[in-house]
C-alpha cells in the first residue's frame, strides 16, 4: 500500500469516555486506524490499538505517542479529548482541585501536542483540541474549567502559527453541554438544566456524535485551509 493509499492514523485521548467513544467510532467508520489512549489502556471496540496514558506525566505522553507509532506506524491526527471538571464557587474551591483541572485540561493538552509533534511533522498532520463554550463565555461556578478551555483555545491559535511551516494544522472544537460522565451530575438537575437549555438558542444539548463529526471535518482535506480556529458546536451559545 502506498503512502497515498494507507489509512490515516488517529490518536484519541480520553478514548474510554462518552465523547471519546463517539470520536473513536466516527473516525474508525470513516477510514481511520484509531489508537485509543486512556488511563489503564481502556478503549472502545472501534479502536484498533490501545495505549496507556497519564496526562499528568510528560514521560507517559511521550511513551503513548511512541507506542501508537510502533503499533500503527505513525500518527496523522491527534485528538486531545481528555479532560476533567470541578464545579463550585471559586472563593471556596480548594487550590489542589484547581491544580488538578489545570494539570489535565491545559498541561496535558500541551504535553500531548509536544509529544506528537515529531510524528505529525513527518507528513503534515492535524491536531484537534477539545475546547468548550465555557472557554468563550463566562459560566458561573465553572471557573477552573472555563479558564483551562480558554487557554486551550489560545494554545490552539499559537500552535497553528508555529507549526504551519511543518504543515501541521491545529484547530479546536467547542461544544456546549454534552451528555457524558462529566455532566452526569447536572443532567438530572431540573433547575440547572432549565437554565442551561435557556442559554442555548437551539434549545438542546449536543450529541457526542455531533462533536465527533466536527472533529473529523477539521481533520479532513475539506478543511485543508482551516487552522487556528475553534469550531463552536453549541447551538448558538457563543454568539449571544
Encode pLDDT of 133-159 as tens digits. Answer: 999 999 999 999 999 999 999 999 999
% of the chain exceeding 90 in pLDDT: 88
Is residue 1 predicted with pLDDT exceeding 60?
Answer: no
Q: For residue 153, what are the domain limits?
A: 9-233
Cβ density class 180-217: b for 16+ within 10 Å, e for less: bebbeeeeeeeebeeebeebbeeeebbebebbbbbbbe
Residue 127 belongs to some domain of the structure: yes
Strand order in the sheet with 77-80: 49-52, 33-38, 9-13, 77-80, 126-130, 169-175, 230-233
Residue 238 belongs to some domain of the structure: no
Per the annotation, the verdict on 192 as an active-site residue is: no
* Average of per-residue pLDDT across 195-208: 95
Residue 239 belongs to some domain of the structure: no
Residue of 32, 117, 145, 192 marked catalytic: 145
Domain count, the chain: 1
Residue 228 belongs to some domain of the structure: yes
Residue 1 belongs to some domain of the structure: no
Residue 3 belongs to some domain of the structure: no
Q: What tens digit of pLDDT does each residue of 32-74 get?
A: 999 999 999 999 999 999 999 999 999 999 999 999 999 999 9
What pTM value is reported for the model? 0.94
Which CATH number covers residue 27? 3.40.50.720
Amino acid at each position: 500500500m502506498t503512502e497515498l493509499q494507507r489509512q490515516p492514523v488517529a490518536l484519541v485521548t480520553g478514548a474510554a469516555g462518552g465523547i471519546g467513544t463517539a470520536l473513536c467510532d466516527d473516525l474508525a467508520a470513516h477510514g481511520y486506524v484509531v489508537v485509543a489512549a486512556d488511563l489503564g489502556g481502556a478503549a472502545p471496540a472501534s479502536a484498533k490499538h490501545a495505549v496507556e496514558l497519564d496526562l499528568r506525566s510528560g514521560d507517559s505522553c511521550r511513551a503513548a505517542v511512541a507506542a501508537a507509532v510502533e503499533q500503527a506506524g505513525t500518527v496523522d491526527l491527534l485528538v486531545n479529548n481528555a479532560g476533567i471538571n470541578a464545579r463550585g464557587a471559586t472563593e471556596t474551591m480548594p487550590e489542589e482541585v484547581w491544580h488538578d483541572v489545570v494539570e489535565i485540561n491545559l498541561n496535558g493538552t500541551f504535553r500531548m501536542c509536544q509529544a506528537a509533534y515529531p510524528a505529525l511533522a513527518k507528513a503534515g498532520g492535524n491536531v484537534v483540541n477539545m475546547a468548550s463554550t465555557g472557554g468563550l463565555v463566562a459560566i458561573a461556578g465553572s471557573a477552573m474549567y472555563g479558564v483551562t478551555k480558554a487557554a486551550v483555545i489560545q494554545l490552539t491559535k499559537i500552535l497553528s502559527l508555529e507549526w504551519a511551516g511543518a504543515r501541521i494544522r491545529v484547530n479546536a472544537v467547542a461544544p456546549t453541554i454534552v451528555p457524558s460522565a462529566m455532566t452526569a451530575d447536572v443532567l438530572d438537575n431540573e433547575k440547572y438544566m432549565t437554565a442551561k437549555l435557556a442559554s442555548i438558542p437551539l434549545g438542546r444539548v449536543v450529541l457526542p456524535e455531533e462533536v465527533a463529526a466536527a472533529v473529523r471535518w477539521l481533520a479532513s482535506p475539506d478543511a485543508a485551509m482551516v487552522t487556528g480556529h475553534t469550531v463552536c458546536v453549541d447551538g448558538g451559545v457563543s454568539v449571544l
